[in-house]
């Protein structure tokens, strides 16, 4: 059956009444799932009529799958809602994702009529370029088939209107984390900002933040966004992240760890998943930002988005060899380790 918002429900805030037949999640990610073909170590992008050789190559799940894998590897009970085909790329993704612990693929649809979205990512140190093929049928479904799962967090894109099932989850107590992507039209429409009233946390990068708000600095953009959504976080590449604490109104900037970068593809997705992990643990904003930045930094040291998402073992090893993290943040992160 297809879900439609607006019915009567007895579930209270925080999902205190749960139906055992439906899996209970910490976070549900909804959006496009890509098969990423990642070419690394190129000297420069090829010009028309020329050929450039990469010295590294990887095939990895990308897009919403990167966020899902990253959250699952950090111990969150994670669901993935999206569509992939039954072609070669879809078969590869299905097998790779099924091997991940804590990742529920109940809501990952296999549609033989669509081609699995594919992105060729060409990386060179701290920068990259993308070439993508995506069919309409592979985009995030607007209709939810069956029963909605109880989940503490929902993460999805707000480039278009939010579907009714997302609004219903929020009405039941789910915290909604919204994001946006690159606007190929260059228009950066203002109506995206009006949707911030429909979510609880907004995460975007510096280009997206300044473009949508028509501001010139990240700090200016964050202040504009903070008036529209309870919590806002803007990632700023090697400069770290800037956020406004929804409880105090304080502007917080946390620097990014300095690491050698092999491939930044998916680092923002890993950051978002780690940020949600921090929210799930109830950490204060500075701890969440440091942890998210740490996980993103770990992910850029090898090729691929989902494939390079860190597990707790990698986080612990990084903390063992790193100094400068405040003791309180360090204690909170260590206490969360399994």
Q: Once rounded to an integer, what is the mean pLDDT over residues 189-215? A: 96
pLDDT tens digits, residue range 86-144?
999 999 999 999 999 999 999 999 999 999 999 998 987 667 788 999 998 888 888 89
pLDDT, residue 169, reads: 97
Percent share of the chain, pLDDT over 70: 92
Q: Calculate the alpha carbon distances from 84 to 61, 97, 145, 146, 147 in Å.
A: 11, 12, 16, 19, 21
pLDDT, residue 15, reads: 39
Instruction: Determine, yes or no, domain membership for 295.
Output: yes
Quote the CA–CA distance of 287 and 192 in Å, as a whole number: 28
Instruction: Determine, yes or no, domain membership for 13.
Output: no
Give the alpha-carbon dihedral of 317, 318, 322, 328, to 10 degrees: -90
pLDDT tens digits, residue range 298-319?
998 888 889 999 999 999 999 9
pLDDT tens digits, residue range 262-297?
777 889 999 999 999 999 999 999 999 999 999 999
**Considering only CA atoms, which of 127, 120, 67 is closest in space to residue 292?**
67
Secondary structure (3-state) at 263? coil
Residue 7 has pLDDT above 90, yes or no: no
pLDDT, residue 201, reads: 97
Residue 335 has pLDDT above 50, yes or no: yes
Domains held by the chain: number: 1
Residue 35 has pLDDT above 90, yes or no: yes
Q: Once rounded to an integer, what is the mean pLDDT over residues 69-78? A: 98
Q: Once rounded to an integer, what is the mean pLDDT over residues 160-171? A: 95
Those residues with Cβ within 8 angstroms of residue 280's Cβ, 6 or more apart along the chain or in another chain: 26, 27, 76, 152, 153
pLDDT, residue 220, reads: 96
Lowest mean pLDDT among 41-45, 83-87, 157-161, 240-244: 41-45
The separation between the first and the last C-alpha atoms of the chain, rounded to the nearest angstrom, is: 38
Instruction: Determine, yes or no, domain membership for 259.
Output: yes
Query: CA angle at residue 296 from 299 to 159, to 5 degrees?
Result: 110
Instruction: Determine, yes or no, domain membership for 303.
Output: yes
Instruction: Determine, yes or no, domain membership for 293.
Output: yes
Q: Once rounded to an integer, what is the mean pLDDT over residues 212-233? A: 96
pLDDT, residue 263, reads: 74
Q: Which residue's entry shows tokens 């790193």?
A: 322
CATH number at 315 reads: 3.40.1190.20
* Confidence at 145, pLDDT banded by 50, 70, 90: confident
Other C-beta atoms within 10 Å of 272: how many?
26
Instruction: Determine, yes or no, domain membership for 57.
Output: no
**Considering only CA atoms, which of 299, 107, 307, 278 is closest in space to residue 203?**
278
Quote the CA–CA distance of 113 and 87 in Å, as a whole number: 9
Quote the CA–CA distance of 228 and 83 in Å, as a whole number: 31
pLDDT, residue 22, reads: 58
Longest CA–CA span in the chain (Å) reads 63
Query: Do the Cβ atoms of 179 and 272 come closer than 8 Å?
Result: yes
pLDDT, residue 128, reads: 77
Instruction: Determine, yes or no, domain membership for 43.
Output: no
pLDDT, residue 45, reads: 84
Instruction: Determine, yes or no, domain membership for 283.
Output: yes
Q: Once rounded to an integer, what is the mean pLDDT over residues 33-42? A: 93
Alpha helices in the chain (DSSP H): 64-73, 88-98, 164-171, 191-194, 206-213, 218-226, 267-281, 285-299, 312-320, 327-336
Where in the sequence is the domain holding 301, given as residue range(s)? Answer: 19-33+64-116+139-336
Q: Calculate the alpha carbon distances from 202 to 40, 188, 227, 229, 276 in Å.
A: 30, 16, 12, 7, 11
Taking the whole predicted model, whether its pTM rises above 0.85 is answered as yes
User: What's the whole-number average pLDDT of the chain?
Assistant: 90
Q: Once rounded to an integer, what is the mean pLDDT over residues 156-184? A: 95
| Cα within 13 Å of Cα(202), Cβ side | 32
Q: Calculate the alpha carbon distances from 71 to 77, 117, 187, 275, 279 in Å.
A: 8, 22, 32, 9, 12
Quote the CA–CA distance of 87 and 139 in Å, as a whole number: 16
Quote the CA–CA distance of 112 and 102 in Å, as a whole number: 26
Query: Do the Cβ atoms of 263 and 123 come closer than 8 Å?
Result: yes
Task: Pick the most confident of 8-12, 179-183, 328-332.
Answer: 328-332
Q: Are strands 201-205 and 127-133 parallel, antiparallel or unpaired?
A: unpaired
pLDDT, residue 49, reads: 96
């Amino acid at each position: 059956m297809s879900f439609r918002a607006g019915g009567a429900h007895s579930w209270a805030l925080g999902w205190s009444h749960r139906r055992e037949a439906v899996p209970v999640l910490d976070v549900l990610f909804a959006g496009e799932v890509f098969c990423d073909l990642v070419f690394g170590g190129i000297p420069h992008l090829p010009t028309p009529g020329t050929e450039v050789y990469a010295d590294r190559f990887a095939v990895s799940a990308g897009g919403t799958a990167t966020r899902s894998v990253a959250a699952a590897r950090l111990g969150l009970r994670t669901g993935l809602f999206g569509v992939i085909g039954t072609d070669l790329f879809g078969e590869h993704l299905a097998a790779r994702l099924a091997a991940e612990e804590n990742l529920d693929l109940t809501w990952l649809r296999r549609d033989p009529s669509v081609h699995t979205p594919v992105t060729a990512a060409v990386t060179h140190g701290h920068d990259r370029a993308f070439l993508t093929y995506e069919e309409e049928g592979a985009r995030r479904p607007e209709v939810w088939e069956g029963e909605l799962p109880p989940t503490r967090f929902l993460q999805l894109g707000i480039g278009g209107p939010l579907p009714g099932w997302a609004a219903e989850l929020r009405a039941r107590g789910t915290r909604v984390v919204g994001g946006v992507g690159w606007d190929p039209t260059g228009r950066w429409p203002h109506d995206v900002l009006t949707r911030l009233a429909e979510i609880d946390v907004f995460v975007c990068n510096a280009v997206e933040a300044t473009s949508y708000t028509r501001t010139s600095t990240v700090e200016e953009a964050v202040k504009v966004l903070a008036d529209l959504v309870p919590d806002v976080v803007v990632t700023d590449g090697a400069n770290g992240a800037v956020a406004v604490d929804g409880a105090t109104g304080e502007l917080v900037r946390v620097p990014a760890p300095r690491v050698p970068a092999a491939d930044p593809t998916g680092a923002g997705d890993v950051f978002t998943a780690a940020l949600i992990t921090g929210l799930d643990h109830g950490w204060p904003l500075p701890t969440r930002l440091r942890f998210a930045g740490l996980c993103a930094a770990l992910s850029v040291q090898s090729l691929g988005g989902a494939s390079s998402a860190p597990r707790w073992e990698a986080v612990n090893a990084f903390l063992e060899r790193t100094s400068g993290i405040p003791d309180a943040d360090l204690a909170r992160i260590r206490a969360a380790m399994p």
